[in-house]
Amino acid sequence: EGGNQREFDYFKLAMQWPGTYCQRTRHCCSSNACCRGSNSPAEFTIHGLWPDYNDGSWPACCSRSRFNEKEISTLVGALDKYWPSLSCGSSSTCHGGKGSFWAHEWEKHGTCSFPVLQDEYNYFLTTLNVYFKYNITRVLNDAGYLPSNTEKYPIGGIVSAIQNAFHVTPEIACSNGALEELYLCFYKDFQPRECAVGSILLQDMSLSKSSCPKYVSLPEYVS
Ligand code: 5GP
Ligand code: 5GP
Ligand code: 5GP
């Protein structure tokens, strides 16, 4: 359990590609988004909004506040669609218990976004708004990077498309040669900023630090 950790420096918005995440969770479990063949997400969905420090570390579990779904009842429709849990299992929370993906993200990361985001409702609402404003799925689709189970795309092209759209470099993560996560960073006022500070070769750095090969796939989601 965290407690009084120093205030964070910036936000990192983590987004996941369901077609990649669901490659390794094939089996079906009830109300699991990985099972829903018909309305399968063909877009990046939210993993979390993460307060970070400039030195590369981050605070976690910053208060005893427990997730309360009632506080976000008006957002549940949007969260089900854009922040689904693609995993069958429940997640560990900061207090040793088990909870939903939303409970995990709020307790581990959301509680550390104080004083910029002051409560659970604000954390989820703000995350949705930032995600809608910086629509990486649309940017990639417009640049010709469409979900496919046969194509491979140059990772440098994917990173450039995001740089051209938002004037910052995304961080990326892959799994089995497929793009799994993409991260965008923001100042506390939600203007985009670089995740890594002080580098002149941001694209090179983004690529070298990542788990991605030179050519990556953006797999379609198969149920
Ligand atoms: P992984 O080791 O799978 O990349 O990350 C495991 C978990 O550590 C993530 O789900 C997230 O909760 C946390 N984490 C990883 N990287 C970062 C980061 O750059 N910033 C923050 N705030 N948390 C991170
Ligand atoms: P690793 O050994 O892979 O760096 O980290 C082991 C565990 O510590 C992972 O669960 C990772 O999420 C967590 N971790 C790594 N760095 C940090 C950090 O700066 N802050 C926090 N809260 N957890 C971290
Ligand atoms: P993080 O890596 O953010 O610390 O932890 C993610 C936690 O949430 C893990 O315990 C993972 O099993 C759970 N989880 C539930 N649904 C999802 C999902 O859709 N994506 C990811 N990455 N983790 C999920």
| Ligand nearest to C-alpha 47 | 3
Ligand 2 centroid – CA 206 distance (Å) = 19
Domain count, the chain: 1
Instruction: Based on the residue annotation, tell me whether 47 is a catalytic residue of this protein.
Output: yes
Ligand 3 centroid – CA 197 distance (Å) = 27
Judge whether 1 lies within some domain.
no
Judge whether 84 lies within some domain.
yes
| Separation CA 208–CA 197 (nearest Å) | 15
| Ligand nearest to C-alpha 5 | 2
Contact criterion met (CB below 8 Å) for 25 and 88? yes
Contact criterion met (CB below 8 Å) for 154 and 215? yes
Judge whether 4 lies within some domain.
no
- CATH number, domain of 137, equals 3.90.730.10
Instruction: Based on the residue annotation, tell me whether 105 is a catalytic residue of this protein.
Output: yes
- Out of 104, 107, 109, 180, pick the active-site residue: 109
Question: What is the H or E stretch that residue 219 is in?
Answer: none
53 CA to centre of own chain: 17
Provide the 3-class DSSP secondary structure of residue 217: strand
| Separation CA 27–CA 21 (nearest Å) | 12
Judge whether 3 lies within some domain.
no
Per-residue pLDDT of the chain (223 residues; tens, 9 = 90+): 455 689 999 999 999 999 998 887 655 555 555 655 545 678 999 999 999 999 989 999 999 899 999 999 999 999 999 999 988 778 888 988 899 999 999 999 999 999 999 999 999 999 999 999 999 999 999 999 999 999 999 999 999 999 999 999 999 999 999 999 999 999 999 999 999 765 445 566 666 667 899 999 999 876 5
Where in 40-158 does DSSP place strands (E)? 45-52, 91-92, 98-99, 148-154
Judge whether 2 lies within some domain.
no
What ipTM was reported for this prediction? 0.91
Fill in the DSSP letter of residue 135.
-
Provide the 3-class DSSP secondary structure of residue 44: coil
pLDDT at position 121: 98
Burial category of 58 from C-beta neighbours within 10 Å (exposed 0-12, middle 13-18, buried 19 and up): middle
Quote the domain boundaries for residue 80.
10-218
Cβ < 6 A, ligand 1 pocket? 12, 50, 52, 58, 108-109
Radius of gyration of the chain (CA): 17
